[in-house]
Protein backbone atom coordinates (compact mmCIF):
# COMPACT_ATOMS: atom_id res chain seq x y z
CA UNK A 1 0.00 0.00 0.00
CA UNK A 2 1.06 3.61 -0.47
CA UNK A 3 2.66 5.28 2.51
CA UNK A 4 4.14 8.67 3.31
CA UNK A 5 6.07 8.60 6.56
CA UNK A 6 7.28 11.44 8.71
CA UNK A 7 8.81 11.22 12.15
CA UNK A 8 6.05 11.18 14.75
CA UNK A 9 8.36 12.51 17.48
CA UNK A 10 8.58 16.28 17.86
CA UNK A 11 11.93 17.83 16.99
CA UNK A 12 13.15 20.15 19.75
CA UNK A 13 15.92 22.41 18.53
CA UNK A 14 17.86 25.35 19.88
CA UNK A 15 17.32 28.71 18.23
CA UNK A 16 19.92 29.36 15.53
CA UNK A 17 20.49 25.68 14.73
CA UNK A 18 19.40 23.84 11.59
CA UNK A 19 16.27 21.68 11.81
CA UNK A 20 16.18 18.71 9.43
CA UNK A 21 13.00 16.76 8.75
CA UNK A 22 12.61 13.56 6.76
CA UNK A 23 9.81 12.36 4.50
CA UNK A 24 9.93 8.77 3.20
CA UNK A 25 7.45 7.30 0.79
CA UNK A 26 6.64 3.87 -0.62
CA UNK A 27 4.65 2.74 -3.65
CA UNK A 28 4.43 6.21 -5.14
CA UNK A 29 5.73 7.63 -8.39
CA UNK A 30 5.56 11.28 -7.45
CA UNK A 31 5.57 13.94 -10.12
CA UNK A 32 6.41 16.45 -7.43
CA UNK A 33 6.69 16.80 -3.69
CA UNK A 34 5.66 19.75 -1.58
CA UNK A 35 6.24 20.91 1.97
CA UNK A 36 3.60 22.78 3.93
CA UNK A 37 3.54 24.38 7.35
CA UNK A 38 0.54 23.92 9.63
CA UNK A 39 -0.10 25.82 12.85
CA UNK A 40 -2.63 24.45 15.40
CA UNK A 41 -6.22 24.85 14.19
CA UNK A 42 -5.14 26.41 10.88
CA UNK A 43 -4.92 25.33 7.27
CA UNK A 44 -1.66 24.18 5.66
CA UNK A 45 0.50 26.92 4.17
CA UNK A 46 2.58 26.17 1.08
CA UNK A 47 6.35 26.47 1.52
CA UNK A 48 8.26 24.74 -1.27
CA UNK A 49 7.72 22.45 -4.25
CA UNK A 50 10.31 20.20 -5.86
CA UNK A 51 9.88 18.16 -9.02
CA UNK A 52 10.97 14.56 -9.44
CA UNK A 53 13.78 15.58 -11.80
CA UNK A 54 15.15 18.19 -9.35
CA UNK A 55 17.63 17.44 -6.57
CA UNK A 56 17.42 20.56 -4.44
CA UNK A 57 15.35 23.70 -4.00
CA UNK A 58 15.94 26.69 -1.74
CA UNK A 59 13.84 29.57 -0.51
CA UNK A 60 15.31 31.98 2.03
CA UNK A 61 16.18 29.83 5.11
CA UNK A 62 14.46 26.73 3.73
CA UNK A 63 16.02 23.95 1.67
CA UNK A 64 14.43 20.80 0.25
CA UNK A 65 16.18 17.81 -1.30
CA UNK A 66 14.52 15.02 -3.23
CA UNK A 67 16.05 11.60 -3.85
CA UNK A 68 13.75 9.42 -5.94
CA UNK A 69 16.14 6.47 -5.64
CA UNK A 70 15.97 6.53 -1.84
CA UNK A 71 12.31 7.63 -2.04
CA UNK A 72 13.08 10.37 0.42
CA UNK A 73 12.91 14.13 0.83
CA UNK A 74 14.78 16.16 3.43
CA UNK A 75 13.54 19.55 4.60
CA UNK A 76 15.95 21.93 6.31
CA UNK A 77 15.28 25.12 8.25
CA UNK A 78 18.56 26.97 8.78
CA UNK A 79 19.11 29.54 11.54
CA UNK A 80 15.85 28.40 13.16
CA UNK A 81 13.74 30.90 15.09
CA UNK A 82 10.97 30.41 17.68
CA UNK A 83 8.49 31.61 15.01
CA UNK A 84 9.41 28.49 12.98
CA UNK A 85 7.72 26.32 15.64
CA UNK A 86 4.92 24.49 13.82
CA UNK A 87 4.07 21.16 12.21
CA UNK A 88 5.60 20.58 8.79
CA UNK A 89 3.75 18.41 6.30
CA UNK A 90 5.17 16.51 3.35
CA UNK A 91 2.76 16.06 0.43
CA UNK A 92 3.10 14.10 -2.79
CA UNK A 93 1.32 14.36 -6.10
CA UNK A 94 1.53 11.34 -8.35
CA UNK A 95 1.50 11.36 -12.11
CA UNK A 96 -1.98 11.36 -13.56
CA UNK A 97 -3.76 13.10 -10.73
CA UNK A 98 -3.71 16.42 -8.93
CA UNK A 99 -4.61 15.50 -5.37
CA UNK A 100 -2.15 16.04 -2.54
CA UNK A 101 -1.37 12.97 -0.42
CA UNK A 102 -0.07 14.13 2.94
CA UNK A 103 2.15 12.63 5.56
CA UNK A 104 1.05 13.00 9.16
CA UNK A 105 3.49 15.84 9.74
CA UNK A 106 6.46 16.44 12.00
CA UNK A 107 6.30 18.98 14.80
CA UNK A 108 9.22 21.36 15.27
CA UNK A 109 9.75 23.27 18.52
CA UNK A 110 12.44 25.95 18.44
CA UNK A 111 13.71 26.75 21.93
CA UNK A 112 14.89 30.34 22.51
Partner 1 sequence: EPEVTQTPSHQVTQMGQEVILRCVPISNHLYFYWYRQILGQKVEFLVSFYNNEISEKSEIFDDQFSVERPDGSNFTLKIRSTKLEDSAMYFCASRKGQGTSYEQYFGPGTRLTVT
Query: Which one, 9 or 112, has the nearer CB to partner 1?
Result: 9
Q: What is the DSSP code (8-state) at residue 18? A: P
Strands 72-77 and 62-67: antiparallel
State in angstroms the smallest separation of the CB of 17 from partner 1: 27
Q: How far is the CB of 58 from partner 1 (least distance, A)?
A: 16
In the bound state with partner 1, the residue whose beta carbon lies nearer, of 11 and 48, is 48
Residue closer to partner 1 by CB (options 99, 112) is: 99
Residue (30 or 71) nearer to partner 1, CB = 30
Calpha distance 74→84 (Å, rounded): 16
Q: How far is the CB of 54 from partner 1 (least distance, A)?
A: 12
- DSSP 8-state symbol, 79: S
Closest CA to 14 of 62, 105, 88, 84: 84
Residues that bind partner 1 (CB under 8 A): 32, 34, 36, 38, 41-46, 49, 89, 91, 93, 97-105
Smallest separation, CB 15 to partner 1 (Å): 28
For the chain, the 3-state helix, strand and coil shares in percent, each to the nearest 5, are 5, 60, 40
Amino acid sequence: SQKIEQNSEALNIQEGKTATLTCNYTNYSPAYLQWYRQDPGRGPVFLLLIRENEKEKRKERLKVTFDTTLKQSLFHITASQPADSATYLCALTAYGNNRLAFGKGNQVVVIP
